[in-house]
Amino acid sequence: MSEETAFLQAIRANPDDDTTRLVYADWLDERDDVRGQVVRLHLALRSVAPDHVHRVAGEHELSLFRKGLSHEWLTVIEPERSHLYETPVRPVYCKCFPGLYDPQPKQKVPPVEFHIEPQDTECEPWKRLCDLVEEAAVDGREEFAPLRGVTSEERAQIVTLPQTIGKLTKVKHLLLYGSHLVRIPPEIGEMTNLEKFTPYTSYRLHWYPYEITRCKNLRDSTVSTRALYGNRNYHPPFPRLEPGMHAGRVEPTELPLKCTKPDTVRRCSVCDRPFKDQRQHRVWISLRVATDVLPLLVNACSDECIGRLPTPAKHYLQVTHRGDPDVRQPHTTQAGSRGDPWESDGE
- Residues in contact with Zn ion by CB under 5 A are 94, 96, 204, 268, 270-271, 301, 305
* Least distance in angstroms from the C-beta of 302 to Zn ion: 6
Q: What is the DSSP pairing of strand 208-209 with strand 292-299?
A: parallel
CA distance to 208, 225, 312, 313, 326, per residue, from 342 (Å): 21, 12, 15, 11, 22
* Least distance in angstroms from the C-beta of 311 to Zn ion: 18
Nearer to Zn ion, 22 or 212 (CB): 212
Nearer to Zn ion, 55 or 204 (CB): 204
Any residues with CB less than 8 A from the CB of 221 and at least 6 apart, and which?
196, 197, 198, 199, 289, 290, 291, 292
Nearer to Zn ion, 35 or 246 (CB): 246
Nearer to Zn ion, 140 or 243 (CB): 243
* Least distance in angstroms from the C-beta of 182 to Zn ion: 7
Nearer to Zn ion, 32 or 263 (CB): 263
* Least distance in angstroms from the C-beta of 175 to Zn ion: 21
Peptide bond just before 88 cis, omega within 30 deg:
yes
Report which secondary-structure segment, H or E, holds 58.
helix 55-66
Give dist(CA 319, CA 301) in Å, integer.
18
Nearer to Zn ion, 80 or 345 (CB): 80
Nearer to Zn ion, 174 or 309 (CB): 309
* Least distance in angstroms from the C-beta of 314 to Zn ion: 26
Please state whether 12 falls in left (phi above 0), alpha (psi between -120 and 50) or beta.
alpha
- Cα distance between the two ends of the chain: 64
Which of 331, 300, 294 minimizes the C-alpha distance to 312?
294
Report which secondary-structure segment, H or E, holds 286.
strand 282-289
* Least distance in angstroms from the C-beta of 261 to Zn ion: 20
Nearer to Zn ion, 23 or 271 (CB): 271
* Least distance in angstroms from the C-beta of 271 to Zn ion: 3
* Least distance in angstroms from the C-beta of 276 to Zn ion: 12
Give dist(CA 297, CA 154) in Å, integer.
28
Which of 211, 203, 324 minimizes the C-alpha distance to 272?
211
Cβ-count burial of 326 within 10 angstroms (0-12 exposed, 13-18 middle, 19+ buried)?
exposed
Tell me the β-bridge partners of 209. 297
